[in-house]
Amino acid sequence: QVPLLIQGNDRHGSRCEIIFLGCSSNPCRTGTCISLPNGSYQCLCPSLMTGINCDIPLLPCSSNPCLNNATCFTLSLT
């Protein structure tokens, strides 16, 4: 797993009326959820996944435009 930590908010909804209770709602789609003391959470995303809830795949680029042994990824937002 890639150590990509993104903090989620403990409230959501159009008026912040819905309260998250850490990992109890299983917010991390493909990752590991870490509950934080303030009621929020962090997702540890597996390789080739990103996003607050590890729900956005990282796709390898069709060409390799990166230099110096870097790797190119395209975000899939669909």
Quote the tokens at residue 75.
């975000």
pLDDT band of residue 4 (cuts 50, 70, 90) is: very low
For residue 21, the model assigns a pLDDT of: 66
pTM, two decimals, is 0.58
All structural domains of the chain: 5-75 (2.10.25.10)
For residue 6, the model assigns a pLDDT of: 41
- What pLDDT, in 10s, does the model give residues 18-77? 565 678 888 898 999 998 877 788 999 998 898 899 998 888 887 778 888 888 888 766
CA atoms of 11 and 42, how far apart (whole Å): 14
Report long-range pairs for 34-37 (Cβ below 8 Å, ≥24 apart).
34/5, 36/7
Q: DSSP per residue over the chain, as a string?
A: ----EEEEPSEESTTS-EEP-GGGG---SSSEEEE-TTS-EEEEPPTTEESTTS-EEEEE-SS----TT---EEE---
